[in-house]
Structures are given as C-alpha cells and as structure tokens.
Chain A
Amino acid sequence: MNSSVIVFPGSNCDRDIAIALEKMQFKNQMVWHKETKLPKSDLIVVPGGFSYGDYLRSGAIAGKSLIINEVIKAANDGCLILGICNGFQILTETGLLKGALLRNKNLKFINKDINIKVINNETKFSNKYKKNQVLNINIAHNEGNYFTNQNHLNELNNDNLIAFKYCDKDGKINEISNPNGSLENIAGIFNSKKNILGMMPHPERMVDNLISNNDGANLFSSLLK
C-alpha cells in the first residue's frame, strides 16, 4: 500500500508517522507542501505539528497551501485521508471535515496519555479494533476542543461518523474524561463517505511497546486489509 505524508513548515510528527507507516509495511513518501503533484497514493496523511506556527488559526494557512488542492482532489476521488492533531485542524480548515477545533477549555496545552473509545469499528480505518474497545493513546494539543453545529452533530450521531470518544480507563464517557471540552467527548470523526478520518490523538506514537504501547498499530493494520 502506498502512502504519502504531507510536510509543512512546522510539521513535527511527520517523521514519527513515516516510521509508523514503514513499520506497518506501507511504502511511504514524504511530500513537501510546495509540490503541486501527489505521488500515487492509497493513503495520504496530514501529520501533527504546528504548521506555519499556528498563525491566524491552527491549520488555517496550511489549509490554503498548494498541495492541499491536490489532497482535496484525491479525497474527492475516494483516496483515504488521515489527519492527526494539526492534520485534523488542517482538514477542518479545508472543509474536507466539518466543524472546527477550538482552544482547549482549560486554556492549557495538554500533553498526556489518555483513553479513547472506538465508536465505529466498521470503517477502513478501524476494522481491526473491537467496538467500544478502550485505547490508551497520547494527545498533545492546545486546540483540540471539537465544535460543530447542531445539524452536523446530529449527522455525526445518526450516520455513525464518530470514530473515537474520550473516556476513562473503564470506558466511561463523561465530563471528567473529557480533556479539552470537545462536544460529546469527540476525539475523531469521519466524513460522510468515511474515506477521511480526522483525530486529535496520536496513533503513530503508539506502535511500539518499547517506547509506549501498541494501541495505535491496529489503525494502520486496518488500512492494510
């Protein structure tokens, strides 16, 4: 499976995701944001970091970059797109995913391992997980507070477009287990065609028991199926 990782000035999880993809047997290429053509890819990853120093709004400037036009075209053709952390913010700024990521409710940058629950395990991104499986996974963000309008929130719920929700270690979804104030504890969502996943947690940091755990690995192996 061929993958491409888009690199912006200020991306800092690009190499982590590349290592994770290669470990999971993807044939990966890095693509600089000024490129105007994408290599043939089954999966495009928009990685985490601080593209353009988070100027204006997180992801706003990257969302208007040259390569993003190609990502949008590929997405509309059904290519799989994964946006992690700043990548999720960029995808919302392009309109590929609806909603927005606001400043964390407590105004603090949060970097810690938290728990998320797999809400929909019937997608290309999540089929190797069990439904309601609890994953221990790292978050590291300042703007992770997911917000959207009521109509879209209904659509997310009715069409099963919520990928992950923040929960406690027993899988309880409540205010205490919500680290950033996200609506309904949302940690990751799909677009209506379910070929795009945006998520604040970092699965690429969870693919090796030596340095963390292996809870993120099934996201990548799901894609290989």
Chain B
Amino acid sequence: METLTKTQAIQGGEFLIRETEARDVFIPEEFSEEQRMMAQATQDFIDKEITPNIARMDSMEPGFMPALLDKAGALGLLGISVPEAYGGLGMSFNTSMLIADVIGSAGSFSTAYGAHTGIGTLPILYYGTEEQQQQYLPKLASGEWKACYCLTEPDAGSDANSGKTKAVLSEDGQYYKITGQKMWISNAGFADLFIVFARIENDKNLTAFIVEKSFGGITMNEEEKKMGIKGSSTRQVFFNDTPVPVENMLSSRGNGFKIAVNILNIGRIKLGAGVIGGCKETVTHSVRYANERRQFGVAISSFGAIKQKLATMATRIYATESACYRAGQDIEDRIQSLIDSGMPEAEAKLKGVEQFAIECAIMKVHASEVLDYCVDEGVQIYGGMGFSAEAPMERAYRDARISRIYEGTNEINRILLVGMTIKRAVKGEIDLMGPAMAVGKELTSIPDLNGKDTTGLLAKEKGVLKNLKKAILMVAGKAVQDFGAQLNDEQEILMSIADMMIEVYAAESALLRTEKLISMRGETDCQQQINMAKLYLYMAVDKIQAKGKEAIVSFAKGDEQKVMMMGLKRFTKFDAYNVKELRRSVADYLIEKNVYAF
C-alpha cells in the first residue's frame, strides 16, 4: 500500500504554476481488480449486445435502443453514480469515468447512455429534494424510466440562458404550465422523464423542472436526420401548456442556469473519458487492418507512413487518457475532502467538480479532438475501405464528429477555460500574477547558462515542461495586462492561450503517468510509455510554439513583440529526439500486439 501522504491538494487550474509529483496523480494502471472487472463486464455487454447489432441500432429499429438501456440497467450500468440508498451502486467518480470510457466504443449507445446517466439523472441526484430523489432515482438507476435533458432551443444553443421556454404559475399556485420548443434532445423519442429548463416571468436566469411524460402536453417532431450517431434518438420536443406540479421544480427559482452549467462541467470531463474507448477501438481496427492488408507484397503495417499514423494515434490517446483520469482523481479527492469536512455528499460532488471546471473543459476539447484525429487517420489507413460503409471506419468517422459540438462546443470550452483561469487569478484563488511577473523579469535577464541537472530519467522533459508553462504565463500575462476586461472580445487570442494550456496539461499528464508507471514496473517494462511521453511532449512544444507566436503577433508590437518572441524561443527550447525512431518503436509494438495495448 502507498503510505506516502499526498502533498497539499492541488487547486483547479493550478497546474499552470505548480509542479506536480508523479506520486500525487492517479494513473489508469492503478485501477483495482474490481474496477477492471466492471470495465470488462461493460466491454462484454458491448461485444454481446451492441457490436453484432450495430445495423439494427443505427437504423433506429423501434424499441431497440430502449431495450439496450433496459439491459444496461439490469447489469447496473445505469446506476454507477447513484447512491445505494436510491438503488444505485454509489461508485467513485473515476469508476463512472472508466465505465463511460469503455462505453465510448459503442457508437450511438454511448450518447444514449451519457444522456440518461449524465445530464438526465445527475440534475436530480445533485439538486433534487429528498422526495424527488426517492421518487425518481431508483427508476432511473434501474432503467425502468429513461431520461433526457431539454436545454437547447432553436435560438439558444451556446447562449443557453437566452432560452424562450416559459413556465407560468397556475392561478391556484399548484403547478407551472411550461410552453416552449426544445431542440437536439437526445433520448427524446423514448424518454419517460424530461429535465426541462424554462423561464419564469422575466427572470434573469432559467429555472429547471422535472417533467414526466405522463404530465401531458408534450409533442415531438420526427427523428432528426443526422451525420452520425444515427441510432441515438434526437428530436425536437414541444411543451404546450405542460402542467408541472410546483413540487417538481428542481432546486430554487432562477437556479436553472447554474444547474445547467454545473451539470455540463461533469458532462465535459465524462465526455472526455467517454471517447477514449472509441479512440482505442479505432487504433485496434486500424492496426489489424494494416496487418492484414497487403500491398507491394507486404502488410501495409510495415510502411513507415502507416507506422507514423499508428504511433501518433496511440500517443495522443495515451496523453488524453492520462490527463482524464488524473483530473478525475483530483475531483474525487476534492469531493472526499469536502465530505470529510462535513459537506453533504451531493453538494460536495458539485463543488468538487466545479473546482476543476478548467480541467473539465480541457478534457472535453482535448479528448474529442484526439478522437477526431484517430478516426480521420483510421479512415486513411483503411484507404478505399475507409470510405466504404461496409467497414467500421466510415461509421466511426461520422459518429465522432458530434463530440466537438455537444456539451459546449470546443470553441466555447476554449474561451471558458481561459476565462475561468483569469477569473481565479483575479480573485486570488490561484497565484498566476506572481509567477507571471517572475517570468517577465526572467525575460529581461540573462539566460542561466549553467543549466539544470537533466541526467535523470525524464528530467530533461520535466525541465522543458516547466519552461512551457512560463511561455503560457508570458503570453497570458501580457494579454491580460494589455486588454484587461476587453480580452473577452479577443477570442482568437483566447483560443491560442487555451491551446497552449491544453497541450501543457496533456503533456504533463503523460509524463507524470509514465514516471509513476516506471516506479511501479521498472523502466524496462515502460519503454513504449516513455517513448509516447516524449513524443507527446515533442508535439506539444511544436503547438505551444505556434500558438504562442500567433498570440504574440496578434497584439504585441515593436520591441515588446521582439522581446516576447525571444522569450517564446527561450521557453520552447527543446533538443528534439529522433521522432521517426520513437514512432517506429511504438508502432512496432502495436503491430506485434495487433491491438491498442496500453
């Protein structure tokens, strides 16, 4: 057993200014036998019930998806996060992430599962009264009832709080009448329960309600014709004077927007985990195809051009997975410490996630873009067959695309994560200003030519990472100084800073995971992980350099620009590796194993 105590708990966003010890992060290799067995049972469920029936699912065979959810409910998969007192299993945050990760390879089912267990169930779990929880959670945890979440409207997408749906109190004060149009509602076609956001009178913020289908006044459009996740029910839902008892208001009047934001925080990191399974399956399919497909008399997996793709896919997955479970554990630890300090469990869970909202947004963006990269290269490795609907890549490619859109577009998330970081710095919750000023001083001083000790394993990489953080502090610090509150209007610069932050978090997570894994298994057994951590860092340096430059030339002028560009050069200095050889090594390992094997 680990007897070392953790160093002082990290704050959300603090990774930018603080060095994290490898022993303080959780890595997927630490999942217990029980958690692994749960993941395997989930995989067995997919192999048995979904994979052989993909065509039935994606053609929306009537009743097929709800029946799948029923089966998932019988296995307990719908109650992972629901406490045992309400018929669930009360498992930890990272366990629920692990299950979402495995289900990520199940195409449309993954969306139906996320909509039901995440945005459909969690609002009641976190904001419901005891009566509401008693009434609804057991039904949702077992799958007897299916849930959906009605926030988006035709004119209120990213700007969710501008929704026009109204809730009007009846004359007798017994119920609200909800009227309005909701759009892109996953699971709408078969849902028994709707979490609905509506505005009371001219309130500034929305209010949330639990609406049962049986309340009446609910009609729907036909199923949307979509690019991907075709098996997931997506409809417009119309509420026409739907009577909702006043006791079905969720939380208090005007608190709906806050609920939406907080539930989305969870949804974002869950989506991050929820694409990992799909990413890994894409690599497995790709490497198998590359091993079987012969051209010029040899398997195409023997070509460097294919190896390069396989290795890069694996490297990106390795990084996103490392970051996702690292953030997941940070959230879990925070939740536990809040519970230990006497906070009620539901509130602690919300606060825990809220603390790491920056990391949640990072994971949503990074993981969904890793998935997109993987399916794109997957199609390419399959060549002509990648474009054919007979092979799995065509569906994977279409299914993946939505991940960059829902749970807040990746653009909104990028802007948010920088905004949140700056807000925390201004509030003094994390000390960005001190380190940013130190970096400013360093810029005008003579570089330390003595150098640091870089002889230890991964010591050089850690030094590089430290400098990358300085590059971010330099660019972000100067941008805040120059624009002040107007930085919000400079979305292009915010996006560049966001990309730099995302890359540092992912690269650091891959390094820390590798370092911890070496301490568990020894260096010899971690060669490919070492290679991938190095490869990811290489890519991150490149991107941080490019994005940093883009930001600097967008606002700094004259000598100031020159100094910053020199600073960027200094902070992204990197003695590159022979990346061709590193990639070949990773790819050869995958080719030999014939499966994503990390």
Partners in one complex: no
B interface list, Cβ under 8 A from A:
none
A interface list, Cβ under 8 A from B:
none
